[in-house]
Structure formats: C-alpha cells, structure tokens
Chains A and B, each alone.
Chain A
Amino acid sequence: MNILVITERRDAGWNPVSFEALAAAQQIAAQTQSSIAAVVIGKGVRALAEELAAYQLAQVVLVEHDLLDHYTPDGFTVALAQAITQAKPDLILMPHTYQVRDFAPKLAASLGKGMIGDCIGYRYENGRLIFVRQMFQGKTAADVTFSGASPWFASLQAGAFRGDQAARGASPVAITPVTVDLRPEQIRTVPLELFREAKQAVDLTQAPILVAIGRGIKAPENIPLAQKLAQLMGGELAASRPICDEGWLPMDRQIGSSGQTVSPKLYLALGISGAIQHVVGMKGSRTIVAINKDENAPIFEVADYGIVGDIFELIPALTEALEKK
C-alpha cells in the first residue's frame, strides 16, 4: 500500500500537526508494509521539503507553483488532485485542520472518492483498515471503513497521534518535484489576511469599575449616556440579560448566571432590578451602588449605596459632575 501524507505549513514554518499525520502514517505503514510519501505544497517551500526529507519515509513530493503562494481551496484542490494522480497513493492522510476541512472534501469529491474526517485512531484487522471517529460529542466512537477502490482519504484529529514520535530516517530521502497545471482563472477566491479567532473584545472580569445597565435604560438610543459615564469613570460598560438578549449590547457584556461573574472594586447598577440571576454574577463586587426608581427593587438588598431615583436625571448629573472635575 502507498500512503501519502499531506502536510500543512503555517506562514514560513510547519503547522506541527503535520508531524502527527506523519507519525500516524509511519504506524500504519509498519503494520501494513506500506511506503510513505509526503507532500509539501506552496511556493518557495523547498527548504521545508528538505527538512521533511530527513524523516523516515520513501520520498517527499514537492508541489510548487506561483499560484500556491497563498492557500486557496481551488488552487490546492486542483494541484493536489494532479499530484495524487501522479503519485497513485492508496491512502491519503491529513491533519484535521481548518484548512483541511476546507479543501479535503472538495478534493476527495473531485476524484470521486470518500473521506473519513476527524479520526482519533485506527485498527488494522484482517487486511482491512478501520478508522475510529467520535460521535455524539465523544460519548461514543464509531468504526468506519472504506468501500470501493482506493485512493481513500482520512484526516486525523489534533492530538490523536504524537508528532514527536515521527521517526527520522537514516539518510535524507529523494525530493520529487511535481509540476502542476494551474491557471489563474481556476482560482475563484481571493485570499485575504489570515483569520485569527477574534479575541474577546472586553474582559469584564478584569475591569476595576463596571457601569451596568438594565431594563431601566428603556431603549438602545439611551445606551450612549451610560457609555459616556463609564468612560468618565474609567470603567467598562456591562449589562443585565434583557439588554444583551435584545441585542442592544453584545453578549460578552452580560453579567449574571448566564453571563460573566465579576467582582470589580465598584459596580454601578443603573436601572437594574436585581433579579437573583443577575445578582449571582456581581454580588462579589467590593462596592455596589444602585440607582433604581423602584424603592422595593431587590438590587437595594445587595447595594452598599442606593439611590431611589430616575436614571435619566441621575446619569446626566453624574456625568456633569465628573466632567467638571
């Protein structure tokens, strides 16, 4: 059997999960008396190919093209399909990365083949390779195998194999360049800057001062009033659930049992009634100041200082006082 590992780079270096796929390939090869080739794809990636050649495998396949400088699903699919047709592998192993999730189903389908995604292991039984993948959020594992003729595609979950166990070879193996026919019109997407998981815009748990608004704010147009007050106080804006539920503020500003739990030095609650769901998220605040027009509002039970009054009179008054300072 011939195994082809598709590696993945990240900027100028490796995506380390590539070596997890290689380690898996080496384990499978040992059991099935297979040979391994590994693909390096991109532009100007010969150095990576040379690095890879030091590992225990039969050859490195180098797929280089000007149009492969940046990842595109079309470019990778077209180029890898040609490389696969030339290398004639039986099994193609890939790390289960966002990039692989993007192009691999398309690649497999373009060759009319099936793919088993996100495998956590494999078994070799009676001449048959069986892959194991999780279902129901890991509550059960399913055995999946291929039907039909090779090549077969499989991607491996990160961490399922140990990349540091990928064995090096005695001497560097050959690097086989593969020329691919790729034309600009085949690539229908324009890559933008690499996407990074958006980092939490605001970490309310670290803010020393929070100005929190509740239903009393009445309408989204009034939120800037509180926003300005928060700025002047050097604090962050937070809210109770109804505000975020309405979409007036993003959900990462929500305090309470279904939001964040905070304990700032000062918590100013504006027009928040103090339902227990909210209070459990802020009762640990060092000083709680509440403004509410309902003197029976439960927020006053946890407040250190309370004002029974209209927030639309008191917010401007506080803002003005702070501006004078």
Chain B
Amino acid sequence: MPEREKLDADVLIVGAGPAGLACALHLARLIRRHNESGAKPELSAENIYVLEKARELGAHELSGAVMDPRGIAELVPDFAQAPPFDTPVIDDAVFFLKPERAYKLPITPPPLRNHGNYVISINKLVKWLGGLVEQAGVNVFTEFAGAQLIYEGDGIAGVITGDKGVDRSGKPKANFTPGYELRAKVTVLAEGPRGSLTKELVARKKLDGLNPQVYSIGVKELWEVPAGQVVPGFVAHTLGWPLDSSMYGGGWIYGLRENRVSLGLVTGLEYHNPRFDPREAFQEFKTHPLVRPILEGGHIIGYGAKTVPVGGWYSMPRTFVDGGLIVGDSASFLNSQRLKGIHLAIKTGMLAAETILEALRAGDASARTLAAFPRKVEQSWVAKELRGVRNFHQGFQHGLWRGLAHAAIQYVTGGRGLIDPMRMPAGYTEYHKLDGAGPAPPRMRGDGVLTFDRLTDIFYSGTRHTEDQPGHLLVADTNICVGRCVTEFGNPCQYFCPAAVYEMIEEKGVRRLKINASNCVHCKTCDVADPYQIITWVPPEGGGGPTYEGM
C-alpha cells in the first residue's frame, strides 16, 4: 500500500447535502464573526473541507420535495428570492385510493397542510447552497467519497477518501491515485440516509437509539406534461392503493413550473411479502385514474430512488463522539408524519456548526464538548417537532387503519400516543417466509409510454460508474443467496432494488448472484432491506452514481 497524502483540516464534513452544506455555511459565517471580534485563536473557513461523492453538487440528492422553509429562513433569511423557491404551495389535498377510485379527504389533516411551504427540486437547492458555501471560502471536493473512518481513542479523527483507478480485481490501473488521509479536529457525518460511515460508527461505538433505524424507500419520476395538466404549486398526497392496508407508505404528486410534475411512491421497508417490488408498485400507481390524466401525453425526464429514515426520535443514534458529530438524515432527523426532513437537516447542520465553533475556540473537540450538540437540538424547535411525532411511525406496525387512529391519538396527546416510548423492530425482520419458493411472478415490462421496465427507469436516473472497478456492494456470504434465501424469501434483493442491481441467474443448472453494480442509484435499500443483513453498501469510485437534475 503506497503511503497516503495527508491533509489536516479543522472541520471535515462528509456529504454535501442540505445538512452538510448548512453546517459549512453557518460555520464559515460564525468563524468570520469570531475573527472580526478579535477573539483568539484566529480561525479560517478555508480549514473546512466538504467531501461529496457525486460528480457535481446535488447530483445524488433526491427528494419529493415539499420543503418547510423554517430551516432555510434561519440560514439564509432572504432565501425566498433565490431560484429554488419559485413555486410556493398553492393547493393541497389528500386522497385515499382504491384500485379504480380516489376519495378526497374532506379536510387535509393538519400535518399534511402545506400552506407556506415550497415545492422544490432538492438538486437545485443543493447547487445553490453549495455556491454560497464556496463563496464563503470553504473547500468543497466533489467526486471524493469518505471510504473509511480514522478511529482514534474513543472517537474519530477524520476519513480516508476512496482510492481511484483500481480495477475490478483490486489492482491499481494506470490512473491509480491513492485516497487522501484527511484528518480533522471535528468530522461531521452528513451522509444522508443510511450513511456507510455512520452505519459503521454507530455499530462500532454502540451508538444505537432506543429503536433500530427504520427506513422507507421513495421511488420517484419527474415528468414533463402538456400545458394545463398541472398547476405549479399543486400538492397531492395519497394513501392506500397500490399498497395494501398492512403496508406503510403513500404516493405524492407535486406540480412544478415549466409543466413539470414530480411524482412518487414511498413504501415502508418493513412489508411482509418478500417479492413486493416498490418500483413496480410505483409504475402501477401511475395507471390510477387520479394520476394517469395528469401524465397523459407527457414524457418522463428523470427517475430516482432513495431511502428515507422514518424511525424518528426514538431511532436516533447518539449524535456525538470524540471528534465526531452526526447530522441530518444520517442521524434520523426527519419528521415521518410530514415526510419532511430538509428543514431539520439544515437546522441540525447549523446547530452542529455552533457546537463546532465552541470546540474550536476551546481547543477541545472531545465528546464532552461536542455533547453540546444534542443539548442544542433539545432546546430547539427540532426536538419540539420530532417529539410531537415520536411514536408516529411505530403506530403503523399493525397496518394503516390502526396507524391512522394512533396518529390521531398522538396528535391530541402531544406525541405520547397510547404507549410511550413505543418500540419497533428493524424492518428486515418483518418478511414472511415463503411457503416454498414457487415460480417467481413475471416482471413488469411496462407499456413504454406511461409505465416502464427497470432498465428504462434506470436510464433516466443518469447513473454511471467506471465499469472496471471493485464491486461496491459487498455480499458477505453468497452461499446464503443461492441456498437459504432461495427457499426462505425467494431472493428479495431482486425485487426491492429499484435499479436492477441484483439478479439471480442460472447457468447450466448452477444458480448464482449477479451484481450489476453500475446500475446502482445509491439509494441504500439493499443495505437496509436484506433479510440476512449480509449486504454492505460502500461508496464506489468517487464521481460514480446517478445524475439527478431538477429532481
């Protein structure tokens, strides 16, 4: 192994999403104020590094998204003039779907009322925020993933970025560049849902919250439709079909400018049928009489998928260690009842920045100093909002109807609900075993107009990886895949993966797992939903992955 180049920073932020960028921007400004006051030690925003695995800022961000501006208003008070906020919500509705009918709820339940919010593209938001961060003097390195944490003492001291130019057998190619060893006083994990470094740190340092982390998967398409079929700022949420009443989740349809429509389906990754396919369910969703007329005559322009951390307050890991903080989706800061997390990501990034400034001033980034972060969260509106829905998602573990009833009870009890805290198992334990594998159902081919097969959707994610590189989906024991899993669960990886990465193939009577790693859209569903928990998602060579634009 060649010696790595080393770089020292004050603060290293892994992940340039709303949380990481809010942290960087707020910290750069706090540093400027600190220096202007003449306080010592003198600090510099240039000693803040942000790592992002995507080719360009925003390219790996995926969300609906209806954004609550509460966070951004604190970070950038005049945000409303900025381009990402050109579409305020003007109308919202909730529908309950049966296969051929849609029932509009007479009143929109308070958590789903969106007056004052904005329909946004998270790609645009992150690009814009990234520009402000760079203007503030922070170094943002796209195409570099945090590959390994540097552990030191009881905590962390930075990361090693991924090696580049390694072939599929692990040998260096002509363009080999070893990863950098980036050391920092404080390392902020802002990796989004199911961060690969966060997962490892939480397991290694036993940072788990009361409940395990639980996730949903969101599958999304962006469409351009003939003028007049959707009003910019129109927001609809759906419950029911194509999900059955034992499942958690629902659909969305948002109207954007330029005759664009964002639509998708969120499914809790705790469903029972191991052959359920969230992407196919979303394709069916588009055929509903409520949805079809909106898309009629239009065409798809983007596809993507991503996990959503829905466990809430009781799934939150401990968010600080010596030299390290966890913010945003990585730490489960998401309101699952409103399905909104961007405002919480921004706010927790800012609170982390305030904690870090104190640590830099004191010259002490130990857990004792960084413990101020959860205290700041506790004193902020983040805790108030999340505590109010702390048992929301758990209430749905026995199906939609009991979940909705429980949500109502929770609403009037200020979050307490019937049992507090309500426990919940990890979603992957919820699969029902197949009674003998039986023949797999045929895969949806789509009509190529309204509904699509998997490869067509993946094409519209713009995902691209260097083909000749080591696999980034590590399966610990493929004997389980060709043995137990076949009969017990019928290889659910083939169904839950929204990007056709996993494929069981049979050649001359020999079954094996084929991993089409270059299809991966970095949603992390496999890491979450594999019933044996033998799949580990690690970042591929920096720059690889989807190219989300306007999503």
Q: Which residues of A contact B (CB under 8 A)?
A: 135-137, 139-140, 142, 218-219, 241-242, 244-245, 251, 254, 257-258, 275-277, 280, 296, 298, 301
Contacts and interface: CB of A to CB of B under 8 A. Distances in A.
Given A219-B507, A298-B448, A275 B518 contact: no
Contacts of B448: 298, 301
Interface residues of B, number: 24
A118 to B, nearest CB: 11
Contacts of A142: 7
Contacts of B508: 219
Contact of B459 (A135, A137, A140, A257): A257
A251 B468 contact: yes
A276 B456 contact: yes
B468 A140 contact: no
A296 B464 contact: no
A257 B461 CA distance: 12
A133 to B, nearest CB: 9
Nearest to A242: B516
B143 A275 contact: no
Interface string B125-153: 00000000000000101111000000000
Query: Chain A's interface: helix, strand, loop or mixed, by majority?
Result: mixed
A254 B468 CA distance: 12
Contacts of B7: 135, 142
Interface in B460-478: 464-465, 467-468
A296 B445 contact: yes
B308 to A, nearest CB: 27
The 6 A-B pairs at the shortest CB distance, nearest first, are namely A275-B455, A276-B459, A136-B141, A276-B456, A277-B459, A139-B141
A245 B456 CA distance: 19
Interface string B464-500: 1101100000000000000000000000000000000
A43 B58 CA distance: 57
B85 interface: no
A276 B507 contact: no
B166 to A, nearest CB: 15
B411 interface: no
Contacts of B5: 135
Nearest to B507: A219
Contacts of A242: 516
A140 B456 contact: no
A277 B456 CA distance: 8
Contacts of A135: 5, 7, 180
B54 to A, nearest CB: 14
A102 B354 CA distance: 48
A316 B180 CA distance: 54
B1 to A, nearest CB: 15
Interface in B222-273: none
Considering residues A142, A242, A258, which has the most beta carbons from chain B within 10 angstroms of its beta carbon? Answer: A258
Contact of A140 (B141, B455, B458, B465): B141
12 contacts: A137-B143, A139-B139, A139-B142, A140-B139, A140-B141, A245-B467, A254-B467, A257-B459, A258-B465, A275-B455, A276-B455, A301-B448
Nearest to A251: B467
B181 to A, nearest CB: 12
Contacts of B445: 296
Contact of A257 (B139, B453, B464, B468): B464
A219 B509 CA distance: 13
